[in-house]
Amino acid sequence: ATGQRDAERASHAVESAGAALERADRTLEPVIQREQEIRDERLMQEREHELSLERERQPEIQERTLDGPSLGW
């Protein structure tokens, strides 16, 4: 009988822990979602910055190829 009561107590403890975990998950969900949004925004800003730098470099590359060796004319 004692073993059965211990098993019931353990089962109840597991159920309580599971319920607490579900509540915590619901509480943290908006925080986690906001963190992901911030991460996504930063990635987008970094990509835009890299593209901007690439666009700035493009004219330099074109100038170098257009300013190639003169044919003497």
More confident residue, 12 or 69: 12
Task: Please give the average per-residue pLDDT across 55-67, as a whole number.
Answer: 70
Domain boundaries, the chain: 1-55
Tell me the CA distances in angstroms from 31 to 3, 24, 63, 65, one per residue in order: 42, 11, 49, 51
Task: Please give the average per-residue pLDDT across 11-36, as a whole number.
Answer: 91
Is residue 62 over pLDDT 80?
A: no
Look up tokens 């990635």; give the residue.
Answer: 43
For the chain, give the number of residues. Answer: 73
pLDDT band at 66 (very low <50, low <70, confident <90, very high): low
* Predicted model pTM: 0.49
Distance CA 33, CA 39 (A): 10
Is residue 73 over pLDDT 60?
A: no
Structure tokens at 28: 């943290």
pLDDT band at 28 (very low <50, low <70, confident <90, very high): confident
